[in-house]
Structures are given as structure tokens and as C-alpha cells.
Amino acid sequence: MAYDEKLAERIRDLIEPGPQVVEKKMFGGLAFLVDGNMAVSAIRDGGLLVRVDPAEAEDLIDGESVSTMTMGGREMRGWLRVTPTALHDESALRAWIARGVTYARSLPPKR
């Protein structure tokens, strides 16, 4: 199954546009990169992959709708999987996008 195209469209509507924001198909999803660093991604199950400061990740995990992303059996520190139910309204999605964009902007640009 491909990524959730409706979620991708919602992200496009909410993410601040600009030349530094690029969409790229990655890991079966549609990622939104800021200055070459992934901020968020619409993923296969209708959820969202969000890159956050690893030091803050544990405080955001709730055990139900937000968990650490696992890839290849390995937990990805600083990468959170947010379930579709946690993205029900625009303010919730906007907050997750803001977290991802803020962290991506704190990293050195990749060109």
C-alpha cells in the first residue's frame, strides 16, 4: 500500500512553502525535506513519520498514538510514528509538522 495521499495533501496545505521545502518519495512514503533534512513524511498506514530532537522524543511518546519508529527491527532514535487517529484535526497535524520542521531547520543544510 502506498502512502496516504490525502495526508500528503494536508501536509502540503500546512507546511510553510519555500525553495528549501522539497517533497521526495522515500521508504514507501512521501517525505517533506527542509534544507535537505527530513521533517515529516506521510507513511503507508495513513500515519505520519516525524523527525524530532532525540532528547525530546521520549517525552512525546504516549504508547498509543505516538511511538518510536522501527525500521528493519531497529528503533530509530528521534524518529516518531504518529497514528492516523492522532492527526484527526488540523491543529494536531500542524503541531507535528511544526516539530519536524523546527528540528530539520536546526540541522546543518544538506545540498
DSSP for residue 84: G
Does the pLDDT of residue 30 top 70, yes or no?
A: yes
Residue type, 10: R
pLDDT for 1: 56
* Contact status, residue 57 vs residue 80, Cβ threshold 8 Å: yes
pLDDT for 2: 83
Angstrom CA distances, 23 to 2, 13, 16, 20, stand at 15, 13, 13, 10
pLDDT for 17: 83
Structure confidence by residue, pLDDT tens digits, 37-93? 999 999 988 899 999 999 999 999 998 999 999 888 999 999 999 999 999 899 999
pTM of the shown model: 0.92
Helices (H), 1-111: 5-14, 54-60, 90-106
